[in-house]
Amino acid sequence: MTQRTDTQETEAQAKAGAVTKKAVVIDPGGDVAKIQAAIGQSNVNVEKIWLTHGHIDHVGGAAELRDALNVPIEGPHIADKFLLDNVVNSGARFGITGVRNFAPDRWLEEGDQVAVGKLTFDILHCPGHSPGSVVFFNKDMRFAHVGDVLFNGSVGRSDLPGGDHATLIKSIADKLLPLGDDVGFICGHGPGSSIGQERMTNPFLTGVA
């Protein structure tokens, strides 16, 4: 990997932890050419690929993109290995071709930290939608990427192999709600939300907290 010097960054920006132009791609499910075009348009340096879990709509393009960008894949938790070992089979079920089975360069566990640019994210292991689902949480920015664990007004499905609804709700109650109402998140499908909004209005979390 080539190292950028960021010579245009002002001292004020540096203090604010602002624009380093370093980026990650989270959950490249496919359309690798489109992702690469977006990277080009944004003029960012992609350092890593992060995976929240092993479902094909989140990992179908990961191996191809890793080859194209020559960057490591981090995540998900090793409990989703059975999914990454079967990307080709799950693709065939949906008529998706051109995907590959793969292993990440680093499995992630509860308590791990990953970094991009100047930002550090804590890893929360949140099983239930899939056994190896992880959430990426940046404490300073009050921001999380929650994959398919929690949605705006809904929660992840739990009827796929290794899924379990009670486990999912427990993950949300034990790991996500305690992050704080002010934490905003984006998720694997649909618009983002905040922990507070979901705690107060999400019908799946009634009586949970």
Half-sphere exposure of 41 (CA within 13 A, CB side): 6
DSSP-derived pairing of the beta strands 134-138 and 143-145: antiparallel
User: Quick one: which H or E segment has residue 63?
Assistant: helix 62-69
Region 170-199 residues binding Zn ion, contact defined as CB under 5 A: 188
Q: Which is nearer to Zn ion, 45 or 83 (CB)?
A: 83
Minimum distance from residue 188 beta carbon to Zn ion (Å): 4
Minimum distance from residue 173 beta carbon to Zn ion (Å): 20
Cβ-Cβ contacts under 8 Å for 121 (sequence gap 6 or more) = 113, 114, 115, 136, 137, 138
Segment lying near Zn ion (by CB under 5 A), choices 15-23, 57-65, 82-90, 161-169:
57-65
By CB under 5 A, tell whether 55 contacts Zn ion.
yes
User: Quick one: which H or E segment has residue 167?
Assistant: helix 165-171
CA 163 to chain centroid: 18
Cα 191 from Cα 184, distance rounded (Å): 11
Q: Which is nearer to Zn ion, 17 or 190 (CB)?
A: 190
Report which residue's Cβ sits closest to Zn ion.
Answer: 55
By CB under 5 A, tell whether 57 contacts Zn ion.
yes
By CB under 5 A, tell whether 163 contacts Zn ion.
no
Q: Which is nearer to Zn ion, 117 or 156 (CB)?
A: 156
Q: Angle, nearest 10°, between helix axes 62-69 and 32-42? A: 40
Minimum distance from residue 127 beta carbon to Zn ion (Å): 12
**179 phi, psi to nearest 5 deg:** -65, -30
Q: Which is nearer to Zn ion, 119 or 154 (CB)?
A: 154
Minimum distance from residue 80 beta carbon to Zn ion (Å): 10
How many residues sit in the footprint of Zn ion (CB under 5 A)? 4
Residues at the interface with Zn ion (CB under 5 A): 55, 57, 148, 188
